[in-house]
């Protein structure tokens, strides 16, 4: 009997050792369980779009052939009426004298009734129009100049209506003095008609994307165009009618963003939208105001208004945008850790005793890489929070839990190494 009893005890220990070996081999085959610590985080719902910057910009053209002397560095702020450049030319003073006459006309219009002056000017030009046409057809330049002089002597000749509207009388008087000096020095001065940022980079799209027409931009008119930026400050000489500089109003600007119609439905006019602008490898977050949404057959254009960050992108035309429609906050988990069990979405957690347990989660936001799950409802101190699923309470994952990275390699109740 003693031998049989000893044999039974030996078999028990051999069996126990065999089971331990099997468990060890099984765990070895499955490798070490990888986990990631659950942390609090946030996730943004982002819509990416290409944006077109539309600015209040004015190009200043050379009136004659010559070279330019610039008085401000690229990107500097200038005041209205400030001398920004001189056009150096060897040409005669005809053009300069014409500018002096234009300024005189502008000053006179300030001291008189502008509407009456304009009306008289038009009537005067009509009276001399036929004679001028005859002189031009006959190539009689002397006769044409006499007719213009005669019209001007009537005190009613209006030249370049609107060119000097932005200047006051004192500024016009100072400009006239400088122009009168330039007759002898062969220099034509240029003054800023508005306060803003001065740039010598001209891309040729200034008239394509004008501030006056920004609300009418559609998906077809926002297709990206080929363009070349010309830095005028590096040129040794310029030709008549060539752009030499540009002044941009720096207080506000627009960005036209094109998105699919389904995405456009996520936005509402007259609402603010958090926007991330990418340019030159950098990004900056700024709040934009949705002024208008122009819907098309397949795509729509959001007209966004901004009053910040312009100094970083004043010389850009196209930028990449991230429109942030929502921000979710909670516990941030890798989407690969999510799994299904008993009809519920959740994660496996390795607890303090190295036992693998399943906890359902409430997903409030996700993308292709991460999910944000709710923190759950508070019960009491040191207790797990709960979530409700189909009216039932379940404990959920908490901050600092060790979440299993690959749920396919574990099971409920498993003891981890």
DSSP string spanning 50-75? EEEEE--EEEEE-SSSBEEEE-S-TT
Stronger pLDDT, 323 or 89, i.e. the higher one: 323
Please tell me the chain's helix, strand, coil percentages from 3-state DSSP, rounded to the nearest 5.
Answer: 30, 35, 35
Residues with Cβ within 8 Å of 94's Cβ and at least 6 positions away in sequence, in order, are none
Asked whether the predicted pLDDT for residue 155 surpasses 70, the reply is no
* pLDDT of res. 19: 66
Phi then psi for residue 54, to 5 deg, are: -115, 120
Average pLDDT over residues 314-325: 95
Q: Average pLDDT over the chain, rounded to whole? A: 84
Average pLDDT over residues 95-112: 76
The pLDDT tens digits of the residues spanning 279-298 come to 888 899 999 999 999 999 99
Asked whether the predicted pLDDT for residue 303 surpasses 80, the reply is yes
d(CA 375, CA 215): 44
d(CA 273, CA 331): 25
Spell 158-191 as b/e; 16+ CB within 10 A means b: bbebeebeebeeebbebbbebbeebeeebbbbbb
Our CA angle for 92, 149, 184, nearest 5°, is 25
């Amino acid at each position: 009997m003693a031998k049989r009893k000893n044999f039974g005890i030996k078999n028990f220990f051999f069996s126990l050792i065999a089971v331990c070996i099997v468990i060890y081999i099984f765990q070895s085959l499955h490798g070490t369980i990888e986990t990631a610590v659950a942390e609090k985080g946030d996730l943004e719902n982002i819509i990416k779009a290409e944006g077109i910057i539309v600015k209040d910009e004015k190009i200043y053209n050379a009136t004659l052939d010559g070279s330019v002397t610039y008085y401000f560095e690229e990107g500097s702020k200038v005041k209205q009426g400030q001398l920004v450049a001189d056009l150096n030319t060897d040409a005669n003073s005809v053009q300069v004298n014409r500018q002096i006459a234009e300024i005189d006309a502008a000053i006179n219009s300030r001291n008189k009734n502008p509407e009456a002056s304009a009306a008289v000017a038009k009537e005067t030009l009509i009276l001399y129009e036929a004679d001028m046409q005859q002189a031009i057809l006959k190539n009689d330049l002397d006769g044409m100049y006499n007719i213009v002089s005669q019209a001007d002597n009537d005190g009613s000749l209006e030249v370049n209506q609107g060119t000097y509207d932005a200047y006051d009388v004192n500024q016009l008087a100072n400009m006239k003095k400088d122009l009168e000096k330039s007759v002898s020095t062969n220099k034509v001065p240029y003054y800023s008609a508005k306060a803003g940022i001065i740039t010598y980079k001209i891309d040729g799209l200034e008239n394509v994307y004008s501030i006056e027409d920004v609300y009418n931009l559609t998906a077809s008119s926002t297709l990206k165009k080929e363009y070349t930026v010309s830095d005028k400050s590096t040129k040794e000489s310029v030709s008549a009618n060539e752009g030499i500089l540009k002044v941009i109003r720096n207080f506000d600007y627009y960005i036209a963003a094109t998105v699919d119609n389904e995405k456009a439905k996520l936005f509402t006019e007259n609402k603010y939208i958090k926007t991330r602008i990418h340019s030159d490898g950098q990004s900056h977050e700024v709040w934009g105001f949705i002024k208008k949404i122009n819907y098309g057959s397949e795509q729509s254009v959001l007209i966004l208004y901004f009053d910040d960050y312009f100094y970083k992108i004043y010389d850009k035309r196209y930028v990449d945008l991230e429109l942030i429609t929502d921000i979710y906050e909670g516990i941030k988990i890798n989407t690969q850790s999510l799994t299904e069990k008993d009809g519920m979405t959740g994660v496996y957690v390795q607890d303090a005793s190295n036992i693998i347990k399943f906890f359902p989660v409430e997903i409030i936001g996700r993308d292709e890489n991460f999910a944000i799950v709710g923190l759950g409802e508070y019960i009491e101190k040191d207790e797990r929070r709960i979530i409700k699923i189909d009216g039932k309470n379940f404990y959920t994952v908490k901050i600092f839990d060790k979440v299993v990275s690959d749920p396919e390699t574990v099971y409920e109740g498993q003891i981890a190494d």
